[in-house]
Amino acid sequence: MPSTWLITGATSGFGRLVADRALAADAHVIAVGRRSDRLADLADSAPHGRVTTVPLDITAPDAEEVLTDVVRAAGGRLDVLVNNAGYGLFGAVEQIDAAEARAIFDTNVLANLAVLRATLPALRAAHGRVVQISSLIGQFAWPSSGLYSASKGAVELIGEALAHELAPTGVKVTIVEPGTFATEFATSLHVVAPDDVYAPTVGKFLTDFSELPPEAFGDPDTVADAIIAVTALDEPPLRLAVGADAIENIRASLRSRLAELDRWESFPRVPVGQGT
C-alpha cells in the first residue's frame, strides 16, 4: 500500500524537494502551501492523482479543521508528516516590535501545533513518522536571530516532548536541524535593520552574513535526502543536524554550555554557619 505524506511549505525549498522525492518513491503527497500556482505546478509534474493540493495559510483560524478534513478525505491514514512551513525574522531583540514577534510565533510555533493536532490521530493509526523542521539556530542564538531562534527552540522542545509522549504508540519524531543552505529562505526572510546601538553586534553579523560566498551555502538536496532517509529508519534519531556548519556550531554551543555548567555548578557557595 503506498504511503501517504503531508508536507507543509511544499511549494518551495526543502518542502518541494521532499515532495518530489516522496512522489518518486510512489507515495501519495498531501501538499500544503500558500501559493496555488506552485501547488498546481507540483501536481502537474506528478503522476495523476498522486498529489492532493491544499492551498492554505496554516496560520488561518480554520487551518486545523481544514487539514483534519483533508486527512480524513484521504482515507484517514497518514504515514509521514513533514512539518516544514515557516519563515525567518532577523534583527535586534529590542527592535522587533510586538506585531512582528507575534507573527513569527504564529507561523513557526502555533501553526506548527495546529498541524500536529490535525494529523496526529492518523499518524498514530499508522505508527507513522513526524519530522519537525528546525534549524541549527534552534539550538543556540546568533546576534539578530533571537526571535527566530526562540521560535525554532520552541519547535525543538515541542518535538522532544512529543517524542516521549508518543513513544508507546509507535510514532517516531525527528527534529531536523539544517545548517545554511541555498534555498529561498535566505532571500525571503525579513530583516529589521539595526540602529546605532546594535550596529556593532547585529549590524556586523548581518553584514558578514550578506557577504558570504555562494559556496558557503550547501546544496538543499542534502537536507531533502536526509529527511527521506531518516523516515525509513526503524529507530531514527530525535535530532538530526544536517550540514557541516550545523554540526560544528551545535557541537561548539553544547561544549560551551557544558563548560559553563561545570564552572558554575557550585555557585553560590554559602560559608558554613551562614545563610538559611
Positions annotated as catalytic residues are: 134, 148, 152
CB atoms near residue 43 (< 10 Å): 17
Q: What ranges in the chain are assigned the alpha helix state H?
A: 13-24, 36-45, 63-73, 98-105, 111-125, 146-166, 185-188, 204-210, 221-231, 244-264
8 Å CB contact between 31 and 55: no
| Distance set, CA 257 to CA 41, 59, 147, 240 (Å) | 46, 34, 20, 19
Grid cell in block for residue 152: 525554532
8 Å CB contact between 223 and 176: yes
- CA–CA distance, 219 with 225 (Å, rounded to integer): 11
* Size of the chain in residues: 276
CB atoms near residue 161 (< 10 Å): 11
Task: End-to-end CA distance of the chain: give it in Å, rounded.
Answer: 66
